[in-house]
Amino acid sequence: MTNPLLSDWTGPFGLPPFADIRDEDFGPAFDAALAEARAAISAIADSPAPPDFANTVAAQELAEQSLDRVAGVFFNLAGAESTPAREALQRELAPKLSAFSSEVTMNRALFARIETLWQARDSLGLTGEEARVLDLYRRMFVRAGALLEGADAERLKDVKSRLAVLSTQFTQNLLADERGWSRALAQDELEGLPDFVVASAKAAAEERGAPGHVLTLSRSLVVPFLQFSPRRELRQEAWRAWSARGANGGETDNRAIAAEILALREERARLLGYESFAAYKLEPEMAKTPQAVRDLLMRVWQPARTKAIADAAAMEEMLRADGINGPLEPWDWRYYSEKRRRALHDLDEAALKPYLPLEAMIAAAFDVANRLFGLEFRRLDVALYHPDARAWEVTRQGRHMAVFIGDWFARGSKRSGAWCSAFRSQRKLGGEVRPVVVNVCNFAKGDPALLSWDDARTLFHEFGHALHQILSDVTFPFISGTSVARDFVELPSQLYEHWLEVPEVLERHARHWQTGAPMPADLRDRLLAAATWDQGFATVEYVASALVDLAFHDGAAPADPMAKQAEVLAEIGMPHAIGMRHATPHFAHVFAGDGYSAGYYSYMWSEVMDADAFAAFEEAEDPFHPEIAEKLERFILSAGGSREAEELYTAFRGRMPGVEPLLKGRGLLDVA
């Protein structure tokens, strides 16, 4: 039988033939695609023709098309719909793909051709995009070890291979811990929980084939449980299980893996001539140096900590009023914060959620994209990889722009969190290719699915990433879509969140799922007035994680990451009742790959820009101002990595921003 991963995809819009793909197809497809890619790279490196941009750089851009196609399907499925066979293959593939990457970037003949072009770049008559791509290719090769020789080169290959294995193991251990823990809830243990939490617990039980109601470690279930359950001993049990992911001993314990990853990263950086992994990692980013990152984080830390301590004192009084002695604990914070929010803002999330059904929030995200960028969305009837996933064709003035896939519900086969990815990225090289983009979330399933305000923000956030892919308009895959500096990539996503708070968006789309009535104006006003509610907590749990990440990578790797984590938290005065947003054993951003390693700060770096960017619309007194929207698309969303991030932002806004809009947006500007 023909392997569907290797045959032409003739279905609608060239979508992968999901219905025909079996797990056993992936191994042979990867073998064939790797062989094809190796042959193509060898042909470029060994070509007798003098190097030019077309036969060296552009040729490389197309050399791995089959591999990119197979990997695009496999790794998206491995994250969103894992199976034992896929997990086993992922472990097998990690060193194979790392070895191939090292073969390419350490191919001396190939690098010599790139170096020849780079040295002569000013005389080649390159376009701006071509010059940028050549520069990025040369930088990638050098940072991957192309200048190393002998034992150092071989050691770097081994280090990268081992890192690939460890990051895969870290991810799978975390998924196993999340999938493996559940807690049946007796009828009396449901008392005090809003209907939507009870419904989510029932859906979680059904998904596991269990009767009654079940509490799981899905964020969309455990967080509202911690927020609403009046049973303190149950909150403690849930919080301890949630915070212990990756640190339960046995085969799925991630602590030793984290230590080895950090040691190997330090070795990798030193082999390449850097004093630390943070110095290596941050060099191509907007921040450039560990000190610049630390300066930003500490600028925000102090007012956030001050606010959080004041909030904790107020909640401790509530704890005492409930007859509980002892300090406020991490499993108490969300519960008493919710009670306090109801008291101070008359805002009850249980009353809010009926106005935030998933379908309406999807429609809101699409509507904003239509009003800003003229995009239209048509539902597609196509086979996808899971019944919960849905697809739309995205068009503009009749032109096909992309296929967008939404996969929003939590399930045991899906890793935690929320993310945007692509089965296929945009490019013009070799003919116009439009993207196939997917948003993956972990919302609680319900009939209907009702979102929290945080869930709705997450939906808008991930759709902002999707727009970065959908509107991409570059020639080369290397700079397409979200292929930008890590501390710039969160700008489109975090910026898009702002439109969820635009009153006319809420008025149009935040409607009661049963009656269709719009959210009452007073409820909407109270919601927006409480927009900065609990930002001391939210900022502290995030910044603490970012500072620990930075400390792990700035200097010698700690032999005991857990001891280093405790040391950092003690140094900054971490409030007792707040846990890190991501503690080390389940810090997937940092240990499930290199993406956010020494880079978790990037959400806040981007937030400095997103607050300032939305201010451009506020200054124009029009959240849909057409000229500003056009500039946003031209310089940010469609430009990919075609220029340095700072250049792109300055082209959009005329200058770089200060930290004040961020502090104002979090309600921390005037905190002493």
Which has the closest alpha carbon to 493: 425, 436, 416, 439? 439
Q: What is the pLDDT of residues 371-407, one digit of tens each?
A: 999 999 999 999 999 999 999 999 999 999 999 999 9
Predicted TM-score of the model (pTM): 0.94
Q: What is the pLDDT of residues 169-211, one digit of tens each?
A: 999 999 999 999 999 999 999 999 999 899 999 999 999 999 9
| C-alpha–C-alpha distance, residues 153 and 159, integer Å | 10
Q: Which class does domain 354-529+603-665 fall in?
A: mainly alpha
Query: Is residue 434 over pLDDT 90?
Result: yes
Q: Average pLDDT for residues 4-11, to the nearest whole number?
A: 94
Q: What is the pLDDT of residue 531?
A: 86
Q: Which class does domain 251-347+535-600 fall in?
A: mainly alpha
- Residues 6 or more apart whose Cβ sits within 8 Å of residue 208: 182, 214, 216, 412
Query: Is residue 335 over pLDDT 70?
Result: yes
| C-alpha–C-alpha distance, residues 269 and 184, integer Å | 47
Q: Average pLDDT for residues 502-514, to the nearest whole number?
A: 96
CATH architecture entry for 12-105+107-143: Up-down Bundle (1.20)
Q: Do domains 12-105+107-143 and 251-347+535-600 have the same CATH topology?
A: no
189 part of the active site: no
497: amino acid identity, one letter: E
Query: Is residue 111 over pLDDT 80?
Result: yes
Which has the closest alpha carbon to 130: 26, 30, 60, 213? 60
Provide the pLDDT confidence category of residue 18 given band limits of 50, 70 and 90: very high
Q: How many CB atoms lie within 10 A of CB 601?
A: 27
Which has the closest alpha carbon to 545: 187, 276, 191, 304? 304
Query: Is residue 233 over pLDDT 80?
Result: yes
Q: Is the peptide bond before 448 cis (omega within 30 degrees of 0)?
A: yes
Two tokens at 37?
Answer: 């890619």
Q: What is the pLDDT of residue 661?
A: 87
Burial of 153 (C-beta count, 10 Å sphere; 0-12/13-18/19+): middle
For all residues of the chain together, what is the average pLDDT?
96
Q: For residue 390, what are the β-bridge partners? A: 406
Sequence-ordered strand ranges (E) for 94-217: 182-185, 213-216
| C-alpha–C-alpha distance, residues 604 and 625, integer Å | 26
Query: Is residue 571 over pLDDT 90?
Result: yes
Out of 159-168, 444-453, 645-654, pick the least confident: 444-453
Find the Cα–Cα–Cα–Cα dihedral 41, 47, 51, 55, rounded to 10°. Answer: -60
Out of 41-45, 49-53, 607-611, 625-629, pick the least confident: 607-611
Cα-to-chain-centroid distance, residue 610: 16
Cβ contact 468:401 at 8 Å: no
What does DSSP say about strands 399-409 and 419-424: parallel, antiparallel, or unpaired? unpaired
Q: What is the pLDDT of residues 113-147, one digit of tens each?
A: 999 999 999 999 999 999 999 999 999 999 999 99
Residue percentage of the chain with pLDDT more than 90? 93
Q: What is the pLDDT of residue 669?
A: 84
Query: Is residue 1 over pLDDT 80?
Result: no
Q: What is the pLDDT of residue 482?
A: 97
Active-site residue, from 178, 189, 462, 497: 462
Helix axes 535-553, 255-271, angle to 10 degrees: 60
Q: What is the pLDDT of residues 142-180, one digit of tens each?
A: 999 999 999 999 999 999 999 999 999 999 999 999 999
Q: What is the pLDDT of residue 348?
A: 84
Q: Average pLDDT for residues 420-438, to the nearest whole number?
A: 97
Helices then strands, counting H and E runs in the chain, come out as 27, 7
Provide the pLDDT confidence category of residue 672 given band limits of 50, 70 and 90: low
Measured at the alpha carbon of residue 596, what is the angle toward residues 284 and 632, in degrees to the nearest 5? Answer: 65
Q: What is the DSSP string of 449-463?
A: -B--HHHHHHHHHHH
Two tokens at 112?
Answer: 């010599």
What does DSSP say about strands 436-443 and 399-409: parallel, antiparallel, or unpaired? parallel
Q: What is the pLDDT of residue 155?
A: 98
Q: What is the pLDDT of residue 38?
A: 98
Query: Is residue 647 over pLDDT 90?
Result: yes
Domain ranges of the chain: 12-105+107-143, 181-245, 251-347+535-600, 354-529+603-665
Hey, is 181 helix, strand or coil?
Answer: coil
Residue with tokens 């509202």: 224
Query: Is residue 483 over pLDDT 90?
Result: yes
| C-alpha–C-alpha distance, residues 166 and 162, integer Å | 6
| C-alpha–C-alpha distance, residues 74 and 96, integer Å | 15
Torsional sign, CA 495, 417, 597, 90: negative
Burial of 24 (C-beta count, 10 Å sphere; 0-12/13-18/19+): exposed
- Per-residue DSSP letter, 420: E
